[in-house]
Amino acid sequence: MCHGRVTKDDYDNVLIPEVEKRLEQHEKLQIYYEFAPDFDGIDPAAAWEDTRVGFSHILSWERIAVVADVEWIKQTMKFFGFLMPAELRAFSLAEAGEARKWITGTQAA
């Protein structure tokens, strides 16, 4: 869950190593991003890392769920959804349970 401000260090030390580790074990990944109510934005360098990681592994994503009550995040998802071959869905924080079921495939899309 994303709390506060997301930085490039968050990507370098948490997200990227975890993605790389998982890709060694699996051909396709499901990604679940949840933005807490105290989310305070994303640094430009972190946004660049997000784009770089997303597109460098573009064929590795199977499903991506983004859970947020932040409108610009939902709009960004819609834009990138056209560019990604993965199934991409945005959920509100109230729909977090539904998002977890969807990302694990325990509920129909």
What is the residue extent of each domain of the chain? 1-102
The pTM of the full predicted model, rounded to 2 decimals, is 0.86
**What architecture is domain 1-102?**
2-Layer Sandwich (3.30)
pLDDT, tens digit, 9 for 90 and up, residues 85-106: 889 999 999 999 999 999 998 7
pLDDT, tens digit, 9 for 90 and up, residues 12-23: 999 999 999 999
pLDDT band at 108 (very low <50, low <70, confident <90, very high): low
Helix (H, G, I), strand (E, B) or coil at 88: strand
Q: What does the alpha-carbon distance between residue 95 and residue 108 come to, in Å, rounded to a whole number?
A: 14
- Chain-centre distance for alpha carbon 104: 14
Q: Which of 58, 51, 55 is closest to 29 using CA atoms? A: 58
